[in-house]
Structure 1
Amino acid sequence: MRRIAFLSVLFCATCHIALGLSIPDGLLPNGDFEYGPKKSELNGTVVLGRYAVPKWEISGFVEYIKSGQKQGDMLLVVPAGAYAVRLGNEASIKQRIKVIKGMYYSLTFSAARTCAQEEKLNVSVAPDSGVLPMQTLYSSNGWDSYAWAFQADYDVADIVIHNPGVEEDPACGPLIDSVAIRALYPPRPTNTNLLKNYGFEEGPYVFPNTSWGVLIPPNIEDDHSPLPGWMVESLKAVKYIDSNHFSVPEGKRAVELVAGKESAIAQIVRTVPGKTYTLTFAVGDASNSCEGSMIVEAFAGRDTVKVPYESKGKGGFKRAVLKFVAVSTRTRIMFFSTFYTMRSDDFSSLCGPVLDDVKLVSVRHPRRMY
């Protein structure tokens, strides 16, 4: 019945897309904020009027920022295009879009801290919401791209990005730029692999004009994960990377474990107690000057293996295997990096080993493994 329901959703998705009723993958209308308020709707940088920013509805203290603008000794830089918005105390931006009821979607947006340190953002599409911490910077230019997923309960969705912080200076809020969406098609296990989305090919929208990947936030459950099938079971994010900007072992997408043991992903699979399984996976580097000794730790229930990888920061990978006997009907498969690593050309940017092409199969004749 679940398979029939899933096929029905796909059929509906195809129908809606063919009719042009749902928004396509990519930037939301004016998602890069290049179309700004009229001069009469600005007081300096402060936006006046609820609908002054085309295609968006704003609430609270919102500023329209031009790249290169100065704030004290700080230079505000916009990574794509020339403009962004800044959310002050309790401020928010909202856009209503057409979606397909029952479908999963992932939002991707770029954000940067300004003068506040303990910043966070609340992202919501009712009834789902999530708080994304921004305390850790992963790229040297101050901008990171984040992903957040939701399931559409209705045929329209109100996308809201809200700054819940309260600072003495309301102009200390985060900058927001390049808001995009991508429909997600939840993968299923197959006869040749018990893991879903084993190559990480299904995931959030990656901006073609940025080179820092997309962060999958911590504590994301697999039901609404931007990385379908996988849970981010950690205090810090994992990074979703693409082959256009990074070295990827297999296919077009992979995951970079960028925050040591605080950056872990996991998936729970059905297993048969007493049966033997093999877990194989690729470990490498993203060709992003992430150099040195790395170790990826893989867990399958009670069994574990540590896979060392000596990175020169120029790409490459090795394959590893973990054989285990299942002890329950469900087995947790988990990966994290043992060490913290910084890029050799940028000591302010976290990096780490790349994980890709993860496969789990049962072994009919375990003795043949020796």
Structure 2
Amino acid sequence: MEYILTFTLAPGGQNCSANANITVSRPDNQGIFSFKQNYGKQAWQSYGLYLGLSGQDETVNLLFESQAVESDDNSTCWPVIDSLLVKAVENLVQGKDNLLLNGGFEFGPDFLSNSTEGILLDSASSPVQSPLSQWAVVGTIKYIDSEHFFVPHGNAAVEIVSGVSAGIHTEVTLAKGSAYNLEFILGDANNACEGDFIVEVRAGSVAQNFTIRSDGTGSAEKSSIKFEVDSNATTPISFSSFTTSQTKDGIFCGPVVDDVVLLSLSSNSLRIVINPNILISLLLLIVILW
């Protein structure tokens, strides 16, 4: 089983709003967390961290260490940790309707029951060692739930919040010379994030920019790009933000990505869907003509 940690970090002491730095580590992975930007309305923020693979009944040692920070001579600052959750994620299996694993972003850290702010995911260079299963993270993204945000599909989605060059990417093994279609939904999270979002979508050697005009009240647009595989190497799929956005309250925000579906356009793998009523009518017509 793979395990993912969710925890809450807040600054402690007086005049310490930006002085809460902590390292969370286990034997083969660690992350450094701090208040680099204002990503929510609360004085605390929730984070996700990939803990790795563990066997049944195996003990995992977690270490939380405070990092030295600069503070005023008249104040004492310290990080406050609360609400630790550990979630187990089973191995994902590729389905016939999507060649991507976790294309709907349903497999990630567990949401806190009393949190309305989502979960921040910092940079994770490997898709297989990321709190967002099968997706690497560049910059900072926010993992959002449908209970508190506008999520186009399912229970969870990704909001790219840390601006230019931030985003997510994965890799998939595809057949050289074959054609594919990448479908996805872009929108906003209904969190008062207004403006024009520019998202670069890359599939193999094809890259295209999409502009999403948001009024901050929750919107979604379904788009797609077609591409051919010209190499035997794994094919990269990525979504990158080209804009830095803030709400009127100064909270960093950005475009939402959801429901990423990769399908082959080869003749032997096209999905044909026929309405049952039409099928019955065709059969009756054949019988009559016969």
Class of the TM-score when normalised by the shorter of the 2 chains: 0.7 to 0.9
Query: What is the deviation of 1:152?
Result: 4.3
Q: Deviations over 1:259-301 (max 9, x none)?
A: 2223210000001222111111001111111112112210012
Q: Deviations over 1:212-260 (max 9, x none)?
A: 100111134222211111001x2x2111000000010001100001122
144 and 166 in structure 1: CA distance in 2 versus 1, 3 angstrom threshold: closer
Hey, what does 1:193 align to over in structure 2? 98
More displaced stretch, 126-135 vs 238-247: 126-135
For residues 240 and 316 of structure 1, the distance between their equivalents in structure 2, rounded to whole angstroms, comes to 17
221 and 276 in structure 1: CA distance in 2 versus 1, 3 angstrom threshold: same
8 Å CA contact 1:260, 1:336 repeated in 2: no
166 and 284 in structure 1: CA distance in 2 versus 1, 3 angstrom threshold: closer
Q: Which amino acid aligns with 1:315?
A: G
8 Å CA contact 1:185, 1:202 repeated in 2: no
C-alpha RMSD of the superposition: 2.2
For residues 156 and 231 of structure 2, the distance between their equivalents in structure 1, rounded to whole angstroms, comes to 31
1:43-58 matches, within 5 Å, as none
8 Å CA contact 2:50, 2:129 repeated in 1: yes
Hey, what does 1:61 align to over in structure 2? none
Hey, what does 2:282 align to over in structure 1? none
1:1-370 matches, within 5 Å, as 103-113=1-11, 115=16, 117=18, 120-153=21-54, 155-165=58-68, 167=70, 171-232=76-137, 234=138, 236-329=139-232, 330-344=234-248, 346=249, 348-365=250-267
More displaced stretch, 310-319 vs 127-136: 127-136
Q: Which amino acid aligns with 2:122?
A: P
118 and 135 in structure 1: CA distance in 2 versus 1, 3 angstrom threshold: farther
**Which 5+ residue runs of structure 1 have no aligned equivalent?**
1-102
For residues 214 and 116 of structure 1, the distance between their equivalents in structure 2, rounded to whole angstroms, comes to 19
8 Å CA contact 1:295, 1:337 repeated in 2: yes
When the two structures are aligned, how many residues end up with a matched partner? 261
Structure 2 length-normalised TM: 0.83
Q: Which amino acid aligns with 1:128?
A: N
Higher relative contact order, chain-length normalized (CA < 8 Å, sep 6+): 2
Query: What is the deviation of 1:158?
Result: 1.9
Query: What is the deviation of 1:133?
Result: 4.4
For residues 294 and 167 of structure 1, the distance between their equivalents in structure 2, rounded to whole angstroms, comes to 35
Structure 1 length-normalised TM: 0.66
8 Å CA contact 1:242, 1:252 repeated in 2: yes
8 Å CA contact 2:189, 2:216 repeated in 1: yes
8 Å CA contact 2:145, 2:151 repeated in 1: yes
8 Å CA contact 2:165, 2:242 repeated in 1: no
After TM superposition, where is structure 1 displaced by more than 4 Å over at least 4 residues in a row? 116-119, 166-170
